[in-house]
Structure 1
Amino acid sequence: MSRLVVVSNRVATPTETKGSAGGLAVGVFGALKDSGGVWFGWSGDVVSETVANQGPKLERDGAVTFATVGLPKKDYDQYYRGFSNAMLWPVFHYRNDLAVYDRDEYAGYRRVNAWLAHKLIKLLEPDDIIWVHDYHLIPFAEALRSAGIKNRIGFFLHIPFPSPQILLNIPPHEELVKSLCCYDVVGFQTERDRIAFHDYIVRHAHGTATPDGHIEAFGRTLKTSVYRIGVFPDEIAEQAERGEARQDVMDLKQSLEGRKLIMSVDRLDYSKGLVERFRAFEHFLEKSPEWRGNVTLVQIAPPTRADVETYQQIRQNLEYEAGRINGRYSGLDYTPIRYLNQRYDRWKLMSLFRESQVGLVTPLRDGMNLVAKEYIAAQNPDDPGVLVLSQFAGAADEMTGAMMVNPHDIVGTSEAIARALAMPLAERKQRYETNMIALRKHNLGVWRDDFLADLRGDAKA
């Protein structure tokens, strides 16, 4: 079997792949262990030009080589803080109002992609299969092709792909789509995302798109498909059950004093609908006085991109909302919202999910949202909690047993919370079982294996 080379913006360390890593790291590392290969990308460190210009740092773990490079401050500012997260992230999440375009940052984005590609070329073997991940690296294959690399290259987009009319807000939209067409396989989280890409190809790139997912545009032919990233539900269930007896979880249960628990876990990001969620919970307490003092919302929101001004504002807004609502409804022995702006170990989160009666997952827009899937997998089958899920999360296509809400509808979300808390056991079990069927059908291994089969299968054709 040919060797696999994975390219992502950040590379999980060997320690992370065995412990607290998320879905991408777990799935990718599993594929790398099976075939042997390289995981290449940014180390997360901002370094001097001298250090950056050295070869990648190599670290081996069995058949897997972790190859990382640091970024100079200018490259970090333009490639990562700039075009990737000030332009692509907001537009791809339908927040054109927050997008900031700067030509120098876009030039830096392409320059860093070309520089990273050059670093990888020295590690490549002729029959390597290359799998590139996410919006930071859209031009990566184009840079490799320009250097004469003929290997099979696939790309998976973890975030939504916007409709053409939204994408047109990015000035170099055509260059970006042309770059995507340099891949052999391009994967999306949902059929909605793939259709948006096809629409652009037909309407704006004068290309063709067939119902079976083949694209012809910019002198290239490629395959597109939907690959729903998932979780390993049985592993999560085991992890959640094992953690129930740990002290941290026992302390939380004791502090609740018999109150119902609503759990939410998100990165601190404007796409997650956190302010809207807090206001929906406030409306629920206002309209359901019998629940005051009897239910607690735990919102865990680890900081992200803390050096970006937009994210600093999000944190301030959320802290204000939590303080305002707590000031209105707290008692001497009761705080309705416990807002925790910090990271927790994965096992602890899974165990907290298992202890809760409601999982509140209400992003304004999300490519998939693995928290929704992790919440279901962590539940006790004999007494499962209820997932309240945004219709704008990619997971909504599969988690049909969830209670669907429009996160912009504060009253509707409030009513869903009330119904979830009062739901009888028989209905909770039925919804849980429906969701578990979907989780097992599209687990993390299926996502990984289907994508790589398409990439390798086309190579044999």
Structure 2
Amino acid sequence: MSRLIVVSNRVGPLKDSGKAGGLAVALVDTLRQTGGIWFGWTGKVSEEGTFGLLHEEKHRKVVMQQIDITQQDYDEFYIGYANRTLWPVLHYRLDLAEFDRRYEEGYRRVNERFAARLHPSIQPDDTIWVHDYHFFGLAAQLRAMEVENPIAFFLHIPFPAPEILAALPNAESLVRRMLAYDLIGFQTERDAANFRRFVVEELQGEDLGNDRVSAVGREVIARAYPIGIDAESFAQFVHSADARRHMARVEKLLDGRQQIIGVDRIDYSKGLPERFKAFERLLEDYPENRGQVSLMQVAPPSRSEVDSYVDIRNELEHLTGHINGRFADLDWTPIRFLTRSFNRKALAGVYRESKVGLVTPLRDGMNLVAKEYVAAQRPEDPGVLVLSRFAGAAERMKEALIVNPHSAEEVAAALQTALTMPWEERRERWLAMYERICEEGAHEWAQAILSDLRTEFAAYSA
């Protein structure tokens, strides 16, 4: 079996401390099977940047390789093009996107330097798997260095409709460079179809069928591979000491009342202000929930250097104060807004004690919280998942209550349905989703992509 080289913005961890997400666990297991390298950014800024020391850490068959970036790279590549330009465009938020030529130049520069630092480690039989929007152009740089190895790419966030992406300056050039990959994976059928449409409509390419497109002398697979979690392992987290401790704390806090749980980074794509307003509408339209149902929102901050993230946190704090001031009683707080993170075992306990899981992003690649909430439920008395139609998870979790997150009335009505749903219906919906997420786990996701890549590359090379 050939070695695997994984490239991503951040690396590891190689040990599961309970904090690593499903992606990290799946990649580590795959790397341990094949042996190989996990290459990425240290998360640090230095004067030498990408020209500095290559940090190596070996764990049996797996080598972690990381490099620094300069302050200029951080400002232009990471904060600039990746998070102020690509992130909003790919999440359909052209109103928040910043188009600056310096950002684009910084993005191209860092992709070139990462390729140059990775190149000496590549062996002829290696398989290369690149992750996410930070490295759309990495394969093109490797091809320019005469790397002929099979290279796959996976996008963890949405890929927008051609009409949206076309607003990005030099969008055609970006997608043309993506065609240097042999296989491009997406979270949903919609995202994959959007990419193929762009190739056909904007690059005058050809749709070859069976998820294949050709343009600029290249033929690639562009296919949906919905990422999963190790559902059975996550379900066991509820028996951990961390989970039991948090279950006891939540049970004491609720004192017989019901809880709705939301877990998201603070990000404008997550629909948190809309969620708070929908909860307010629940209390308005269904007053029997006052004093009986609370919303706990776990929302660790992210990208505090970007103004729009500061703005949304301020808005959420204002909404929390407004709603709590309007409805709170001496012994009941409507919204508990926690701007801190919890490890996955603790979250499993919080999920289990929550009657409703509320996952309502305005746009999301997949959203694994939806799957984690389902995995953590009591089989004999499961809760109900309320899920945005714009989350990638909705494509394979039809038994959830699917809602339009822009409609406070619709989300409030779904919450009321969830809170009053009979046991038989709750269990039927939960069981269908649980069995599916067990079958479509993170390991199956990784193996499907690598199997298709190797099959495609073998056929192409023959």
Q: TM-score by structure 2 length?
A: 0.97
Identify unmatched segments of 5+ residues in structure 2: none
Summarize the alignment of residues 60-209 of structure 1 with structure 2, pairs less than 5 Å apart. Answer: 60-209=58-207
CA contact (8 A) 2:195 2:222 kept: no
Give the Cα separation in 2 of the matches to 1:379 and 1:244.
16
Partner in structure 1 of residue 227 of structure 2: 229
1:53 Cα offset (Å):
1.9
2:12 corresponds to 1:12 = yes
Give the Cα separation in 1 of the matches to 2:157 and 2:148.
27
Give the Cα separation in 1 of the matches to 2:413 and 2:18.
37
Residue 14 of structure 1 aligns to a residue whose secondary structure is coil
User: What does the per-residue CA deviation read over 1:241-271, in whole Å, with 9 as the maximum and x for residues that have no partner?
Assistant: 3357633331221011111011100011000
Q: Percent identity?
A: 47
2:387 to 366, 372, 389: 389
User: What does the per-residue CA deviation read over 1:342-392, in whole Å, with 9 as the maximum and x for residues that have no partner?
Assistant: 111110011111111000000000111111011111111100000000000
Residue 297 of structure 1 aligns to a residue whose secondary structure is strand
CA contact (8 A) 1:87 1:101 kept: yes
Identify unmatched segments of 5+ residues in structure 1: none
Partner in structure 2 of residue 286 of structure 1: 284
Partner in structure 2 of residue 449 of structure 1: 447
Partner in structure 1 of residue 266 of structure 2: 268
User: What does the per-residue CA deviation read over 1:319-363, in whole Å, with 9 as the maximum and x for residues that have no partner?
Assistant: 111111111111121111000001111100111111110000000
Give the Cα separation in 1 of the matches to 2:285 and 2:60.
57
1:281 Cα offset (Å):
0.2
Moved over 6 A (4+): none
The two structures, once aligned, show a CA RMSD in angstroms of 1.2
1:52 Cα offset (Å):
4.1
Residue type of the alignment partner of 1:140:
L
1:459 Cα offset (Å):
2.6
Residue 419 of structure 2 aligns to a residue whose secondary structure is helix
Give the Cα separation in 2 of the matches to 1:361 and 1:13.
26
Q: TM-score by structure 1 length?
A: 0.98
CA contact (8 A) 2:238 2:244 kept: no
Matched residue pairs, number? Answer: 459
Distance 1:243 1:406, change over 3 A: farther
CA contact (8 A) 2:187 2:224 kept: yes
1:44 Cα offset (Å):
1.1
1:23 Cα offset (Å):
1.6
Partner in structure 1 of residue 45 of structure 2: 46
CA contact (8 A) 1:13 1:66 kept: no
User: What does the per-residue CA deviation read over 1:219-241, in whole Å, with 9 as the maximum and x for residues that have no partner?
Assistant: 11111211110011110111123
More displaced 10-residue stretch of structure 1: 210-219 or 84-93: 210-219
1:238 to 236, 239, 243: 236
CA contact (8 A) 1:186 1:224 kept: yes
User: What does the per-residue CA deviation read over 1:185-212, in whole Å, with 9 as the maximum and x for residues that have no partner?
Assistant: 0011111111111111111101111220
Give the Cα separation in 1 of the matches to 2:241 and 2:193.
41
CA contact (8 A) 2:152 2:183 kept: yes
Give the Cα separation in 2 of the matches to 1:62 and 1:237.
29
CA contact (8 A) 1:244 1:250 kept: no
Distance 1:245 1:279, change over 3 A: closer
Give the Cα separation in 1 of the matches to 2:242 and 2:144.
53
Give the Cα separation in 2 of the matches to 1:187 and 1:447.
10
Residue 302 of structure 2 aligns to a residue whose secondary structure is coil
